[in-house]
Chains A and B, each alone.
Chain A
Amino acid sequence: MEYLKQKQKESWDMVIEPKTRLLDLNLKEIWRYRDLIMLFVRRDFVAQFKQTILGPLWYIIQPILTTLMYALIFGRIARIPTDGIQPPLLFYLSGITMWNYFATCLTSTANTFVTNANIFGKVYFPRLVLPLSVVISNLVRFGIQFLLLIAIMIYFHFQGHTIGVNVYWIIIPILLLMMAGIGLGLGIIISSLTTRYRDFAVFLTFAIQLAMYATPVVYPLSFLQNTKYKTLIAANPLTPLIESFRYALFGKGSFDLGSLLYSAVFMIVVLTLGVILFNKVEKNFMDTV
């Protein structure tokens, strides 16, 4: 007891200083606030569907309508091939499901500071809690859309189409994790920059639309074979993720461990950079937001 007292005398539980270490993740503290993360997830989910008739059904309606639209425009009108995935609806739906997850992770984490300024200004908790909760609540949304995809696959299976389930299914969680990582990383970078200059938020809204066309969502990578654009699209770190996702589901498309590794490295760089920026900004953003 005496020893404890002595120890307490010298050590402080918390020191508030102007500068932080560059990479101060403080996972322990985030773990202590894990209940808060889950409560934020619940809040997002409940609040989104209060006073709607269809509720979470909207999660299903939106990809279905988008798929039909893409199938009409890119499939029927533009006649872009679908890598031999039959029926083509599955090609579009799988791409949309994966892309949606990335896009919503990115756009909603990018707003972290600005939309939660009122909470951040009043109470301290690890700021990273909010972007993390966004990634998780989008996971719920992805889960529902993924179940829809599987249901439609089963439906087509009984319609006589061959749906090849293979061992690559096990990489789907890894692909998802990488998608989340890149979305989170880019999201927190942009959210850190928007605290001072809102220009980045404006930039993001159209950048994300353009980025979809730079990713093989509505066309397969093989469509670009022998064109000079192939290297450009392959340089997009999201390309291997979408391609591998389709490969895992249907056994068609491309699967290349090297390019997946490239995506993984990109994710780590973006996340590290994001956390550094986020740490730098979170302490003082209330003064500039």
Chain B
Amino acid sequence: MSNIVIKVEDLSKQYRLGKIGTGSFAHDVNRWWHRIRGKEDPYLKIGEVNDRTTSGGSEYVWSLRNISFQIRQGEAVGIIGRNGAGKSTLLKILSRTTSPTTGSIKIKGRVASLLEVGTGFHPELTGRENIFLNGAILGMTKREIRSKFDEIVDFAGVERYIDTPVKRYSSGMYVRLAFGVAAHLEPEILIVDEVLAVGDAEFQRKALGKMKDVSEGDGRTVLFVSHNMAAIRSLCTQGIVLKTGQISFVGQIEDALQHYSLSNNNIKNTNDFTPDENLPLEVMSLRVLNAEGQEKDRIISGDHVWFELIYRNDSDEGIIPAIGFYDFVDNPIFLCGGILKNSIFKGKGVNRVLLEIKKFPLLAGNYYMNIELKGTGSMRRHIPKACKIFVENGDFYGTGVVPQWNKGVLIDFEWKKAQTVVN
């Protein structure tokens, strides 16, 4: 299983910005003139890292720059990155719709890429004809398609419409049929780009399940690009994080997602806020303290911790504080809302309140907190993504056994033998 099936070495891709016209003709002539004199391409030297938000000086950008990584057989690899990080360029090169500027990719096995579903579907052709055409475009032979035909029709659920031109299909049927063909490809390596963003929730679940079967059940290699972090998380085992055309992280998918979310959000590490003097209610700081009252920048699962919240209240209203805990892909985990415990704090001026959690229940990883202060009147102050915390695995249960999974929370529990036996 440790066979390397994809080996990317020093891969770079350069694009030219702006229009292609007379300017590019002049560059072509210049390039050619350099080449016949045996000199280097003058435009390959220039170019800058691809950051679309700042306008650079050069007309050429490197969409990918010196990327190297390896993928083993049977791995499901998620490629993560912001828009413009080079994900799609990488997939395009892998699926051979464009070629790299420098570097190489070596591949073992048959590759099928799904940069889109329904490529080459012709609206005038019937469902049946389109299955064959689309299948052949994706690299299947007629015989392979024929043997899969019933399965595809069944998967798409369009049996009744199979001899109707696809232009009469509803968009849902169209997508299901298209995905059906793609899902029944049997390549050794499958490259998928955001195709799950189409269709209804039911279909997305079906599609995701099918892809999971492909990677887990059949031991095939899957490369998956999506902005849907939940989909990536459930499907992939490995992750590659791209940032402005360069690799910023390679590793386990959980670590990759954390790396991505941390490098990508601007949640402060500092716990002191810059309060707005003009607001009648303002959060000033949030600190994590251990049982002895010392400030901590990380928490160990199962620790006894205190969250010290300092705020300024210029009104006469009572304040109900709340802190919500979220994971790095924005899933809420739990909320410590004062309203649940009737905690209302009165007092004008600067207040210091403490939230006690006797056994901190989060698993190892990065989390962030939202702070909300709610007055008994109409006042409200909400700070989303106020600050982040880092949790390390600890001995939550006092048995020395650390849970190996990476989702959910830890709950204190007890197994007991009952006194009476029920027959």
Contacts and interface: CB of A to CB of B under 8 A. Distances in A.
Contacts of A36: 136-137
B129 A16 contact: no
Interface residues of B, number: 46
B229 interface: no
A16 B137 contact: no
Interface string B80-95: 0000000000001111
Given A36-B137, A123-B113, A12 B107 contact: yes
A28 interface: no
B114 to A, nearest CB: 9
B119 A18 contact: no
B102 A18 contact: yes
Nearest to B100: A18
A284 B142 CA distance: 29
Nearest to B120: A119
B99 A47 contact: no
A15 B124 contact: no
Nearest to A50: B124
B24 interface: yes
Given A36-B136, A125-B137, A286-B92, A15 B104 contact: yes
Contacts of A124: 95-97, 113
Nearest to B89: A287
A15 B24 contact: no
Contacts of A125: 137, 139
B20 A196 contact: yes
B137 A123 contact: yes
A123 B115 contact: yes
A14 B97 contact: no
A16 B97 contact: no
A13 B105 CA distance: 11
B351 interface: no
A16 B107 contact: yes
A26 interface: no
Most chain B beta carbons < 10 A, residue from A15, A18, A32, A123: A123
Contacts of B165: 50
Given A122-B119, A123-B137, A18 B24 contact: no
A283 B95 CA distance: 11
Contacts of A24: none
B107 A39 contact: no
A120 interface: yes
Contact of B142 (A13, A35, A121, A287): A35
Nearest to B25: A197
Interface string A38-55: 011011001100110000
B136 A35 contact: yes
Contact of B133 (A15, A39, A122): A39
Interface string A213-226: 00000000000000
A16 B122 contact: no
A288 interface: yes
B260 interface: no
B138 interface: yes
Interface residues of A, number: 36
B142 A17 contact: no
A32 B139 CA distance: 9
A119 B95 CA distance: 13
Contacts of A32: 141
Given A16-B104, A196-B20, A123 B119 contact: yes
A196 B108 contact: no
B125 A47 contact: yes
A8 interface: yes
A119 B100 contact: no
Nearest to A9: B3
A43 to B, nearest CB: 6
B34 to A, nearest CB: 16
Contacts of B132: 39
A13 B107 contact: yes
Contacts of B101: 18
A262 interface: no
Given A39-B136, A50-B124, A119-B137, A283 B98 contact: yes
Nearest to A47: B124
Contacts of A16: 93-94, 96, 99-100, 104-107
Interface in A56-88: none
A33 interface: yes
Contact of A287 (B15, B103, B111, B136): B15
Given A14-B107, A288-B20, A123 B138 contact: yes
B109 interface: yes
Contacts of B110: 13
A118 B121 CA distance: 11
B372 to A, nearest CB: 46
Interface in B134-161: 136-139, 141-142
A39 B7 CA distance: 34
A266 to B, nearest CB: 26
A123 B106 contact: no
Contacts of B28: 196
Contact of B99 (A17, A119, A123): A17
B133 A123 contact: no
B124 A119 contact: no
Nearest to A197: B25
Interface in B227-270: none
B297 interface: no
A123 B102 CA distance: 21
A95 to B, nearest CB: 33
Contact of B97 (A12, A42, A123, A196): A123
A8 B103 CA distance: 22
Interface in B1-49: 3, 7, 15-16, 20, 24-25, 28
Interface string A1-41: 00000001100111111100000000000001101100110
Nearest to B104: A17
Interface string A263-289: 000000000000000000001101110
A286 B98 contact: yes
B313 to A, nearest CB: 59
B410 to A, nearest CB: 44
Interface of B: 3, 7, 15-16, 20, 24-25, 28, 92-111, 113, 115-116, 119-120, 122, 124-125, 129, 132-133, 136-139, 141-142, 165
5 contacts: A42-B129, A47-B122, A122-B115, A123-B137, A284-B98
